[in-house]
Each structure stands twice: as C-alpha cells, then as structure tokens.
Amino acid sequence: MKRIKLTIVSVDKKIAEGYKQDIEKFFNGTIEIEISSIEKHEIIKEIDADLILISTYSIFRLVKQYASKDCEIIKINTTLSKKGYEKIRNLPVGTNALLVNVGPSTATETISLLYNIGRKDIELYPYYPEIKEYPKLDIAITPGEVKIIPNSVKTIIDIGNRVTDVSTILNIITKLNLNKEKYKQKILEYCNETITANYGIRYIVTENYELENQLDMLFENLNEGIIIYDESGIIKDSSGSANKLIMNDYQNIVGEKVKDILFINENEVHVLNTVEKVLKINQNDIIATIVPAKKVGLNNGGIIILKKFSDVERKMHEHRQMVMGKGHKSKYRLNDIIGSSQEIKKCKQIAIRMAKSESSVLITGESGTGKEIFAHIIHNNSKRRDNQFVAVNCSSFPENLLESELFGYEEGAFTGAKKGGKQGLFEIAHGGTLFLDEIGEIPIHLQNRLLRVLQEQEVMRIGGDNVMHIDVRIIAATNIDLEKRIKEGQFRKDLYYRLSVLPLSVPSLRERENDIFEIFEYYRKKYKGKFALSDEVKYFFKNYGWDGNIRELKNYVEYFANLEKLIIEKNDIPISNIEKQDVLKFHEGVNNIENTKVNFEEELYTIILKILYTYYRQKKKIGRKQMSIELEKQNICMSEQEVRNYLKILEHYGYVEIGIGRGGTKITQNGVNKISKL
C-alpha cells in the first residue's frame, strides 16, 4: 500500500526539522514526511506529496509553483510547549523583557503568540540581529535563539523551539481523510502537552472527549440495551447489554440489520414517531422502544431501547397501551364531524362554545355517536390546545390499575411497583385536558378520590405523601344513564354535578337520518370503495335502527368496500335475513302508511297502547327494549325492530310520541282517548 506523503517547506531548514519531529511523533511513523528547503528563493525540486505544509504564508506563491495541481497547501500554526510556557508563567505582572528571534517577523509573531496564550500583562520588545534601536533590558525571552541575545541581558529565558499547534494536526487528519476515531486519544494528549492559542479547538476537543467518555460510560452501564442504526436499518453501535439481551452473550451486533436481529419488518424499523413493541427474543419478553432519530442527523435511522420486563410490568404495559392507544395528543378537528343536519350543527356550535370555558363537560349519547371526537374538538378549540389531551377509558381497567393509572404511585407503593414510581394521568395531563371515557363505569371508591381531586385541584400518588397541584380540565363521557345509576346508588350525585357543569348531548344517527348517506359517502371515499347502493339497500339503511350509530355505519362501509362489488344488494348486507325483512317490511308499511289500514281491533296495537298507558300513569316513558320485555310477559314475542315499526305507525296516527335517542315513547292524549273507547 502506498504510504501517505507529506512535505514540509520552510525558509529555515532547522525549523522545518522541528515541525517534522512533532508530526512524525504524533503519527508514529505512519506518514512519510519530507523536508524541502528554499535556497536563494528557489525550491530545489518539484514537490510530489499528498499534502504540503508551509511555515509562513510568505512562501505560499513560490511553493504553489512546485506543487502538483490538486495538492493542498496548509500553513503550520505554531505554539509553545507546556514546558516552555511554564518558564514565563510566573513572571511578575508588568515585567519588561526583550523577545529575541532571528528576524523582525518571527520576533513579532512570537510576541503575539505569547500575548494570545495568556501573557497579556508583560511588556515585550522585539529584538533580532539587524535591529538598530532597542531598549536595554535585563531580561530576554527567546524560542531557542540563545546565541543572538545581546550581552547586556542578565536573565535569559529560553522557552524552547516553537511546536506544531494541535489545529495543524487536526488539519492534517482532516485533509488526508485519516480515521479521526483512531487519533482521538492522541489528540487529547497532544492538547495536554502543548499550549494552544486556539481556545475554540481546545474546548471542542477536550469537552467533546469528556462528554463522549461520559456517554460511553452511561451506554455500558445502563440496564437497558441501546442500539443505534442508520437510514438503511444497519446497526452502527450497540451497548453491551443490548448484545447480551439479543445474542445471549456479548457478541457484537454492529453491522447487522435491525430487522434481522429483532425479527421485525423493515417498516417497523423506520418509524415516524416513537413506538413501543413487545418482542420475544431468546425466550425473554423484551419491550423495545423505537425512537426515530431525524433530529440527531441519522436521517431515517434511529435508536432502539431494549428492556426485559416482568409479568407485572407486562400488565402495566398492556394497560398503558390501552391509554396510549388513545394517544396523548388530540387528533380530531371540527371537520371530522360529518353531517349537515340541524341536530349535529347545533351540537358542534355548543361544543365550540364549551371549548371557551374552563368548566367540566359531560358528553352523553349512545355508543358510537362520536362522543370522543367531540371531546377532542373541545380540547382543540380551547386555550389548552397546545398541551396534552390524555384519554382514558375507565371501563378497560380493573379497579386497582385504574387508580394507579389516574393518580400514579411512588416507588415501593405495592409489590410490583416500578422503580422510581409512576406518573399518573392527572400529572401527565397537567395544563391540558383529561378525557374520562365511560365515566359511568368508575367504581364508587374511585369516585370519592376523583371528586376530591376535582374539588381540591390536587393529587397525591398512591403510597406518597406529596401533594401536587394540578391544573387539568375534565371532559367525561358516558352512554349510560347516570341519573339512573345515581338512583341505584352506583354513582355519586355530587360527582355527577361536578362533572356535568356543561352537558353536551350527542344525537344518535336515528335522530339525524339526513346525515346517514352523507357519512356513508364520506367513509366510502375514505375506504376507496367503488360501490353504489341499490335502492332497496338505501331504503333499508334509511329505516334501519342504527343502534351502533356511526361506528356501525362505518363498519358497514368498510365491509362493502372489501366486497369489491359495484352494486350492493340486499343480500350483501351482513345481518340476519329476519331482521332485514323486518326493516324492509316496515319500509313498505311506512311508504304505504297513508293506505295502511290499521285495525285497532287487532290485539297487538291495543296491547302496545295499553302498556304505554300503564307507564304513562306511572309518569314513565318506555323504550323499545323494555316494550319487548313487557310484551314477552304477555307471551308475545316481538323484536325491537318490530316494536319500532308498530310504534312508528302509532305515531303516524298521533297516538304516541317517540322520544329522541333513547328517550323512550309516551302515549298521547289521543292515544289515551283511543284506548278508552276500545
């Protein structure tokens, strides 16, 4: 292999020798160094080198003539050795001395060097052999030129030959494209042996080194395994514990592909946001946090933190995922609420007004009506929008886990508690909004605690004695009748009042029939469905009960989009034929309602009206479900859909009033009159 060649050019051969020694010593003979001197303003021969170093800029033009076209030329920066500096370090402030060197420029250069490295407080006067006038001083300082010091001088301070500055060493490494890592330690040593006037470089070299050292230590001592990978998913660095977790011994995994090592897909490696995955590696459950590293210059690379986790932690993790699944960021905007019905427009307006307030909101409505979207919208339009939106589904946690999720715990609070404790969701949501979904499911004991937090705006972690002030806005949602729960003694009245300062009732899809097809169309486009609905199917959907509301509708659209059919027929609807017939029959009935001869002698209408009358006397409304239960008591089997059909027809005749949502049905005065005549 060809050795790298460096040529040093200087006016004075002796000086060049000095530089050669410094550089040779640093590179430990791995670089070939030649000296080319200048005689009578000429260079003896052409320079054939990979890099040329010159002692002064005054010879630059001359050297350039002898150098090959693309060979770079850099000037050697010089400085003092530490030993030399020590000799002048203790000179008293205000000392006057001659600075002796071979010529005027070298003398002034040395004065400025001493000034730059810190001796600004002594007065130095240049002295060189041809000088005509100079002050007669007792002290002379010289970089090795003792012979030319005038005899009158009493004290000679020889600071020794000037040495190559670390900045030149760094220049050589960079220009010759040498492996910086290899010289890291040597650069640091060189910095310590010499004095440099280049404080910036010194700072960067030593500080970086210390930082790197600390990082290396941290890297190796963390229990978690760390993997750093580049944009091709290739591992660039890995900590000992990562190697141990993955390979079961300390075998190095640098150079391997992340996906092959962790058995995951390529797209799981290149993530846009931090994700957590649970992996099974070497019979161990490992939780891998994959952090994209755009900001640290790895492009699409990233960092993976690997951690073994116990059963307790796994449970915690699963539950955390339930919470995190809902995200700590608000994702919906007003435009995500599709529909132009008056009902939904009004609901949006109310939500926006509520957003401007700081009071608690209670969102009610059937399942799948969009309560959660409304919670996001209220947060997004409030002044808390730049802070966390933390959503938690109260029904998805066992009681004790919900408590620790909400309020957090201190280390050692219970067996299996994580080291360092855990932040509760109230703390996480500080400054933002906490969305408590399915609040009706929260157990009584926690209701007490929740109420206290809301009243006092303070939380205390489980097992802790530190009270933390929190500023969190609560939005709660429920699809069950909380007032009923209160009557049953299952929900605290005072908590209910505190939560429902601003009540928002989201209408069911049944109450806004006109929105059905608008939402249908929105999701059809979203799922890239190419289908159209047959007329019969359209009638069906218009008259369908939509108990699952928009969530159910959305599922239908997704299902149809996957069928890849152009026209969706009745038989494509994935529900039982009986229910389908009911709906369609009803449709025909309602379509022909004007002509429908309702035979009130027919027992069924009478029975239904009578049940309604009984409820009316008890000042109660009755829902479809309850109606079919009441009918069953009289040995009449009728589905909720059938009940709905009968009620619609009774409504058409003005005998009943069907309430919106789950409001239930009430007999009218007409209806009362009707049955009294029967």
Q: Using CB under 6 A as the criterion, which residues of the chain lie in contact with ligand ATP when the complex forms?
A: 337-339, 365, 367-373, 437, 477, 479, 519, 550-551, 554
Residues constituting the chain: 678
Answer yes or no: are the C-beta atoms of 377 and 332 closer than 8 Å.
yes
Residue with nearest beta carbon to ligand ATP:
370
The nearest distance, CB 376 to ligand ATP, in angstroms, is: 8
Which 3 state secondary structure label does DSSP give 159? Answer: coil
Main-chain dihedrals φ then ψ at residue 269, nearest 5 degrees:
-80, -40
Beta bridge partners of 8: 35, 53
The nearest distance, CB 396 to ligand ATP, in angstroms, is: 11
Specify the DSSP element, H or E, that contains 184: helix 180-193
- CA dist 384 and 56 (Å) reads 64
Beta bridge partners of 657: 666
Amino acid letter at 454? L
Whose Cβ is closer to ligand ATP: residue 341's or residue 639's? 341
The nearest distance, CB 601 to ligand ATP, in angstroms, is: 43
The nearest distance, CB 530 to ligand ATP, in angstroms, is: 20
Whole-number Cα distances in Å, 654 to 318, 607, 625, 657:
53, 17, 21, 7
The nearest distance, CB 510 to ligand ATP, in angstroms, is: 14
Whose Cβ is closer to ligand ATP: residue 31's or residue 516's? 516
Within 13 Å of residue 120, how many CA atoms lie on the same side as its CB? 4
450 alpha-carbon distance from chain centroid = 29
Whose Cβ is closer to ligand ATP: residue 15's or residue 439's? 439
**∠ at Cα 456 (451, 458), nearest 5°?**
100
- CA dist 662 and 283 (Å) reads 51
Residues in Cβ contact with 285 at an 8 Å cutoff, skipping those fewer than 6 apart? 278, 279, 308, 309, 314
CA proximity to 157, closest of 85, 261, 205: 85
- CA dist 300 and 305 (Å) reads 16
Whose Cβ is closer to ligand ATP: residue 408's or residue 545's? 545
Whose Cβ is closer to ligand ATP: residue 11's or residue 337's? 337
Whose Cβ is closer to ligand ATP: residue 224's or residue 552's? 552
- CA dist 533 and 538 (Å) reads 6
The nearest distance, CB 522 to ligand ATP, in angstroms, is: 6
Whole-number Cα distances in Å, 220 to 237, 419, 503:
12, 20, 55
The nearest distance, CB 364 to ligand ATP, in angstroms, is: 9
The nearest distance, CB 350 to ligand ATP, in angstroms, is: 14
Whose Cβ is closer to ligand ATP: residue 259's or residue 348's? 348
The nearest distance, CB 536 to ligand ATP, in angstroms, is: 25
**R_g (Cα) of the chain, nearest Å:** 42
Whose Cβ is closer to ligand ATP: residue 97's or residue 519's? 519
Q: The tokens of 177 are what?
A: 């494209």
Whose Cβ is closer to ligand ATP: residue 510's or residue 554's? 554
Whose Cβ is closer to ligand ATP: residue 161's or residue 479's? 479
- CA dist 395 and 446 (Å) reads 12
- CA dist 159 and 59 (Å) reads 26
Whose Cβ is closer to ligand ATP: residue 339's or residue 421's? 339
The nearest distance, CB 451 to ligand ATP, in angstroms, is: 23
The nearest distance, CB 245 to ligand ATP, in angstroms, is: 38
